Amino acid sequence: PGPLRRREAAAEARKSHSPVKRPRKAQRLRVAYEGSDSEKGEGAEPLKVPVWEPQDWQQQLVNIRAMRNKKDAPVDHLGTEHCYDSSAPPKVRRYQVLLSLMLSSQTKDQVTAGAMQRLRARGLTVDSILQTDDATLGKLIYPVGFWRSKVKYIKQTSAILQQHYGGDIPASVAELVALPGVGPKMAHLAMAVAWGTVSGIGVCGPDHLQGDPRAAS
């Protein structure tokens, strides 16, 4: 064959041995971004944000548990859950829990327990507190920290409980912290001890809670 025929034959041979081109499969991109659930599209992943942790906190927790293993601190025997009259009606028990927490601020557990014993000896209810004059109430709770201010707060809070809650205490943190002399930690502890509800980090502070937190409910 002539040169032209040979070139055509060579071209046909190259064509027959050429690899078949296949369409490339589209790769699915995975997107990670911040946004609300309604803003996230299909296939999106939540953005992983590093979480800060205190240094050596796990070992410190182990050490604290070892130190508290014997439960020999005053709070283990004189804490809030030991200060109310377990034989009293439920709402009276809850009121006594709240009062013990109000007294405990800036006060040693032994002193708080002593004040609660003196108050309970006179019959500790909303009505009995409102019928007690300020001077007598001050003598009963002395020497708790800031006892003069606490006399005022206890009287004001007791009046609110009588007028708006039928002598019981509120069942929410928001309502508890609205009472005079009641802070967030007291409110969370009251929710746990009086109502048996874990509402926040107040229950994770010093060991105010031992035993069944629902005991006063």
**Tens of pLDDT along 64-78?**
889 888 877 776 777
> Which residue is catalytic, options 91, 150, 155, 185?
185
Q: To which residue do tokens 């609205």 refer? A: 178
Q: Are 159 and 169 in contact (CB under 8 A)?
A: no
Among residues 99, 164, 151, 152, the alpha carbon closest in space to that of 125 is found at 99
Q: Which helix (H) or strand (E) holds 90?
A: helix 90-104
Domains by residue range for the chain, with CATH: 75-204 (1.10.340.30)
Q: Determine if residue 196 is left, alpha or beta; phi over 0 gives left, psi from -120 to 50 gives alpha, anything else beta.
A: left
Length, in residues, of the chain: 217
- pLDDT tens, position by position, 124-175: 999 999 999 999 999 999 999 999 999 999 999 999 999 999 999 999 999 9
pTM metric for this prediction? 0.65
Supply angle C-alpha 83, 77, 80, rounded to 5: 35
48 flagged as catalytic: no
